[in-house]
């Protein structure tokens, strides 16, 4: 039985901070960002945007194409949870009017949990082919101002429908996985921003890639030459380039630059202008590949390397399905990216500091163009609205 991603769509915020503006503010050479880390823009969420509103925007176009009552489970992967107890997915379940006969759970491990959601959902569909499961990965990457991580912020959400006979990609059985208890990046409960040992985190990422690759080849017998396109977790695009170089060296592959670029660059185009979106970032890379490769990908094998600091990693693959082009939502992705408004550094700081989540009562000014937004907090309860329903 084939199981995998039947539909996939992403959402990002309505605003961005250009790394040109950022470099001018910090008195740094722009090349450090555009060449050194390979980033141009960071999507910035206004105060009335959180992972629930982003995830609802990512999911709604999928629900327009299917019977939403058939969704049997929602797995919401995030490390930007909005409540310590209630899962973000239940707010989304209410906003999107999903069936009451649906299970909802939040999954957490840094940037890794979206991959965990895919593996779990795939197994559930194999056990019961009637299941139609939404795996959602959504995060807002936020570091302290004036730290090395600040240039690598961003935000985004990806919604994926996992079913049998998927129209986009079959997720192949077998994968390589790796866990190591390290402190490269973490966010204690009282903090809204992550702490990171940046250089160390890059080393642990690359070691995890080598470990998962060895395990992947042992488990599946698949080879480097059998993979056509490589999607990596992308905190910044230079990291994906370093990852691919590491893998090429490890397997001793002889690739010219053109081949190297073909295997990895299409999967970096969106990430370069969205920034890090933690758990969503690997799947935005996959969408970037789908939307930007003009050749027919039918039958091609795509690999996914998921890395979550702390750390858990997994390497798995999928096979592109016939006629997948007919269900892509490239126009929606490109429209969202193109319509974003540029922020000055001061406007970015105003958004950055204006997070009233700890207040008992707050009404949020309207920045986010919807259709889903965080409208208020009343008695510590989050109130979301669907602006389309209010017209």
Single out the residue of 36, 8, 302 nearest to residue 156, CA to CA.
8
Question: Quick one: which segment of 30-38, 80-88, 217-225, 367-375 binds ligand HMG (CB under 6 A)?
Answer: 30-38
The Cβ of residue 234 has, within 10 Å, a number of other Cβ atoms equal to 32
> Is residue 36 involved in binding ligand HMG (CB under 6 A)?
yes
Kindly identify the residues of this chain, within the stretch 325-384, that bind ligand HMG according to CB under 6 A. Answer: none
Question: Would residue 312 be called left, alpha or beta, if left means φ above 0 and alpha means ψ between -120 and 50 degrees?
Answer: beta
Q: Please, what is the minimum distance in Å from the beta carbon of residue 275 to ligand HMG?
A: 10
Q: Please, what is the minimum distance in Å from the beta carbon of residue 255 to ligand HMG?
A: 19
- Chain-centroid distance, C-alpha 50: 14
Applying CB under 6 A, which of residues 22, 177, 178, 205 lies at the interface with ligand HMG?
Answer: 205
- DSSP element (H, E) containing 191: none
The Cβ of residue 294 has, within 10 Å, a number of other Cβ atoms equal to 8
> Is residue 199 involved in binding ligand HMG (CB under 6 A)?
yes
Residue nearer to ligand HMG on the CB measure, 308 or 318 = 308
Residue listed under structure tokens 């945007």:
49
- Give the C-alpha separation, 370 to 156, whole Å: 14
Residue nearest to ligand HMG (CB): 36
The Cβ of residue 48 has, within 10 Å, a number of other Cβ atoms equal to 23
> Is residue 24 involved in binding ligand HMG (CB under 6 A)?
no
Site residue total, ligand HMG (CB under 6 A): 29
N-terminal to C-terminal alpha carbon distance within the chain: 44
> Is residue 233 involved in binding ligand HMG (CB under 6 A)?
yes
3-state SS class at 316: strand
> Is residue 276 involved in binding ligand HMG (CB under 6 A)?
yes
Applying CB under 6 A, which of residues 14, 26, 37, 301 lies at the interface with ligand HMG?
Answer: 37
- By the 8 A CB rule, do 260 and 272 touch? no
The residue annotated as part of the active site, out of 111, 155, 231, 311, is: 111
3-state SS class at 192: coil
> Is residue 32 involved in binding ligand HMG (CB under 6 A)?
yes
> Is residue 244 involved in binding ligand HMG (CB under 6 A)?
no
3-state SS class at 269: helix
111 is catalytic: yes
Distances (CA, A) of 257 to 34, 185, 243, 294, 363: 19, 32, 15, 19, 52
> Is residue 81 involved in binding ligand HMG (CB under 6 A)?
no
Applying CB under 6 A, which of residues 4, 47, 235, 370 lies at the interface with ligand HMG?
Answer: 235
Single out the residue of 260, 197, 209 nearest to residue 234, CA to CA.
209
79 is catalytic: yes
> Is residue 277 involved in binding ligand HMG (CB under 6 A)?
no
- Give the C-alpha separation, 135 to 362, whole Å: 30
Site string for ligand HMG, 130-169 (x = CB under 6 A): ------------------xx-xx-----------------
Tokens of residue 132, six digits: 């139609």
The residue annotated as part of the active site, out of 9, 233, 244, 333, is: 233
- Catalytic annotation, residues: 79, 111, 233
Site residues, ligand HMG (CB under 6 A): 29, 31-32, 35-37, 79, 110-111, 148-149, 151-152, 185, 196, 198-199, 201-202, 205, 233, 235-236, 239, 276, 278, 307-309
């Amino acid at each position: 039985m084939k199981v995998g991603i039947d539909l996939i769509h992403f959402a990002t915020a309505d605003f961005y901070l250009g790394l040109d503006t950022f470099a001018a503010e910090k008195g740094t050479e722009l090349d450090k960002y555009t060449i050194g880390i390979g980033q141009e823009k960071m999507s910035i969420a206004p105060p009335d945007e959180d992972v629930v509103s982003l995830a609802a925007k990512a999911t709604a176009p999928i629900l327009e194409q299917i019977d939403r009552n058939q969704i049997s489970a929602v797995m919401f992967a995030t490390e930007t949870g909005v409540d310590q107890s209630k899962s973000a997915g239940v707010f989304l379940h209410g906003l999107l009017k999903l069936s009451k006969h649906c299970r909802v759970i939040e999954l957490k491990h840094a940037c890794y949990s979206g991959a965990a959601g895919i593996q779990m959902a795939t197994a559930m569909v194999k056990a019961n082919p009637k299941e139609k499961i939404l795996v959602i990965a959504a995060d807002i990457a936020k570091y302290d101002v004036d730290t090395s991580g600040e240039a690598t912020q961003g935000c985004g959400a990806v919604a994926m429908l996992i079913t049998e006979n998927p129209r986009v990609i079959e997720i192949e059985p077998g994968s390589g996985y790796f866990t190591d208890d390290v402190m490269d990046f973490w966010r204690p409960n009282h903090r809204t921003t992550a702490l990171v040992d940046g250089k160390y985190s890059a080393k642990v990422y690359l070691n995890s890639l080598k470990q998962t690759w060895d395990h992947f080849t042992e488990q599946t017998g698949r080879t480097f030459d059998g993979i056509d396109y490589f999607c990596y977790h992308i905190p910044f695009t230079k990291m994906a380039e370093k990852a691919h170089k590491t893998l090429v060296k490890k397997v001793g592959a002889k690739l010219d630059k053109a081949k190297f670029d073909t295997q990895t660059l299409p999967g970096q185009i969106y990430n370069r202008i969205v920034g890090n979106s933690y758990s969503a970032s690997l799947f935005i890379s996959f969408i970037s590949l789908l939307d930007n490769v003009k050749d027919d990908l039918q039958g091609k094998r795509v690999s996914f390397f998921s890395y979550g600091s702390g750390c858990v990693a997994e390497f798995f693959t999928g096979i592109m399905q016939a006629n997948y082009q007919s269900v892509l939502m490239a126009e929606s992705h490109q429209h969202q990216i193109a319509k974003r408004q540029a922020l000055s550094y001061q406007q970015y700081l105003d958004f950055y500091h204006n997070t009233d989540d700890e207040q008992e009562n707050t009404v949020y000014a309207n920045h986010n163009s919807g259709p889903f937004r965080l409208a208020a907090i009343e008695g510590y309860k989050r109130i979301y609205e669907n602006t389309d329903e209010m017209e």
